[in-house]
Structure 1
Amino acid sequence: MEYRGHELSANVSMLFTELPYPERFAAAATAGFRVVESWWPFAVPDPSASEIDDFVRLVSASGVSLGALNFYGGDIAGGERGVASHPDRQEQLAANVSAMVGIAERTGCRLFNLLYGQLDDRWSPDEQAKTALDAIRSAAADVGAVGGTVLIEPLAEGLNGRYPLLTADDVLRVIAAVQDVDNLSMLFDTFHLGSNGVDLLATAASVPVAHIQLADSPGRGEPGSGSLPIAATLDALKATGYQGVAACEYKPTTDTLTSLAWLD
């Protein structure tokens, strides 16, 4: 499935939610997607070997490839947005990175989204920043051993607690601060950046990115449900030589299959 010259992938944490999670991979394949991605699919950072086996078999049996996967981000449903900057969560993250490398080796997934974490008054901003940089550097080294890239994502202000990365510049400063690492890149999410007033076309034309996710704003629905210049943004990325997939990570305003009418 393609749009404006970009292979599309389905984020099965956002699409096909009419179905139980294990059924969404096959549903994506039936709809025409050859690539899927997901948020961290387990309740804990370090799932058992049998749980990982089940997930790998699920991906394989569906006939799709796993293009990207989120690291464990804490209690996402409860409002957390990553643990990389939290000193008391580093053991969890280290265990998660180990599990992620194992999944990467078995699925061929090579893009891994690491949410930075929200500001927390239990620690100084400097301590949190240092913790995050150390965690990002370590994760990049580990997934780099299997050819992987760590993605750093800005999030929409006002919807994600005290998440400090709001713009491309915020992410680029973090990447620059993690020295001597060449497998870090920004995740370009049209909804998050567009909601924060970022110029999508200018950013697409000037900022190196390894992955893009598509959702409109306001509302985070499918492209065309809001006012963002998504088609033009994809064209701008293509002009830079971007060859990665474009992931559909939106909340359908109707059932998932009907929501794909924007591709017509």
Structure 2
Amino acid sequence: MIDVTAASQHAFPNGRATVNLSILFSELPLLERPAAAAAAGFTAAELWWPFGEEHTPAEAELDALRKAFTDAGVQLTGLNFLDDLTKGARGTVSVPAEKERFRENIAVSVSLAESLGTKALNALYGNRVEGVDPAEQDELALENLVLAARAAHGIGAILLIEALNKPESPDYPLVTAAAAVEIVDKVNAATGLGNAKFLADFYHLAKNGEDFAAVIDAYADRFGHVQIADNPGRNEPGTGDLDFEDLFARLAAAGYTGRVGLEYRPSAGVTADSFEWLPRELRAAN
């Protein structure tokens, strides 16, 4: 078990934890999860795209989600654009057949984010498609990411670009920090806005065998968000081999002051029992 209390004295981001309600509290219906997060002491949460394959959900569905967050007093800090995770996909940004769905979804996602004060929008790149030239996919991805970055900028938000891990996402092309940051830099060069950032998910980076110190040293200035889960298992910190005390200290030393997303599966299956590693006084935003 990690000593996060000791680490927090100089490193852990006090009050900056945000719980991913697409993977945590999944034993509950979606609309009950913000209240459950609040009951556990959290005031911030994030979501993968919460409407399955619906890229333009009915306004009643959107209103119900907004109400769930506002009634619970929980801030939605991060939201995925249409990701098609329910179909086993890893995003739609680079997939030619999903071009119109993704572009229609931009306005929906940005509107939902604006209504809840969400300042980070994540665009998963999408898997390679058999029979399609990767260069064609990359060209489409840049076009779509530029549109998404401009739309996010319009509400004062950042666009996140994430590396996943090769073992679990073999067809996803961004499986190193360097590959994801290269796309970040291309988007910023194309827009001139500077609001594209790297989503450093340290579970995925660990699965890829990347050196945390090297990633932080090289790219901390491009971090827009951090997510964590232990490895192996993708469970809560303290259940695997990762040194979170060292990770938090390195993030603090590098000047990272953003949110830390808890994106793990509870090892015992019950989310409320998976937070013992994080003292309650460190869960709520200041």
TM-score by length of 1: 0.95
CA distance in 2 between counterparts of 1:154 and 1:229 reads: 20
Give the drift of 1:263: 2.0
User: Does residue 260 of structure 1 match 2:269?
Assistant: no
**Structure with the greater relative contact order (CA < 8 A, sep ≥ 6): 1 or 2?**
2
Of 78, 92, 96 in structure 2, the residue corresponding to residue 83 of structure 1 is 92
Contact preservation (8 Å) 2:31, 2:64: no
Q: Which residue of 1 aligns with 2:210?
A: 198
Q: Which residue of 1 aligns with 2:115?
A: 106
Give the drift of 1:5: 3.0
CA distance in 2 between counterparts of 1:202 and 1:234 reads: 14
What is the identity, as a one-letter code, of the residue corresponding to 1:97?
I
Q: Which residue of 2 aligns with 1:240?
A: 254
CA deviations on 1:198-255 (whole Å, 9 max, x unpaired) are 1112212331201011101111011111111222112211122211111110011012
Q: Which runs of 4+ in 1 moved over 2 A?
A: none
CA distance in 1 between counterparts of 2:106 and 2:131 reads: 24
Q: Which residue of 1 aligns with 2:283?
A: none
Contact preservation (8 Å) 2:13, 2:257: no
CA deviations on 1:117-136 (whole Å, 9 max, x unpaired) are 00112310110000001111
Of 64, 67, 89 in structure 1, the residue corresponding to residue 74 of structure 2 is 64
Q: Which residue of 1 aligns with 2:169?
A: 160
Q: Which residue of 1 aligns with 2:282?
A: none
CA distance in 1 between counterparts of 2:235 and 2:166 reads: 17
CA distance in 1 between counterparts of 2:182 and 2:83 reads: 21
Give the drift of 1:112: 0.7
Judging changes above 3 Å, is the alpha-carbon distance between structure 1 residues 17 and 24 closer, same or farther for their aligned structure 2 residues?
same
CA distance in 2 between counterparts of 1:121 and 1:192 reads: 24
Match of 1:224, SS?
Answer: coil
CA distance in 2 between counterparts of 1:260 and 1:230 reads: 14
Unaligned runs of 5+ in 2: 280-286
Q: Which residue of 2 aligns with 1:131?
A: 140
CA distance in 2 between counterparts of 1:48 and 1:78 reads: 20
CA distance in 1 between counterparts of 2:245 and 2:29 reads: 31
Contact preservation (8 Å) 1:201, 1:232: no
TM-score by length of 2: 0.88
Q: Which residue of 2 aligns with 1:5?
A: 13
Q: Identity over aligned residues, as a percent?
A: 37
CA distance in 1 between counterparts of 2:67 and 2:92 reads: 28
Q: Which moved more, 1:41-50 or 1:112-121?
A: 41-50
Give the drift of 1:182: 0.8
Q: Which residue of 2 aligns with 1:146?
A: 155
Superposition CA RMSD, Å: 1.4
CA deviations on 1:78-122 (whole Å, 9 max, x unpaired) are 310001001221110111110011112210001011000001123
Q: Which residue of 1 aligns with 2:223?
A: 209
CA deviations on 1:3-49 (whole Å, 9 max, x unpaired) are 52342111111111221111111010010101001111112111112
Count of residues in Structure 1 that have an aligned counterpart in Structure 2: 262
Q: Which residue of 2 aligns with 1:220?
A: 234
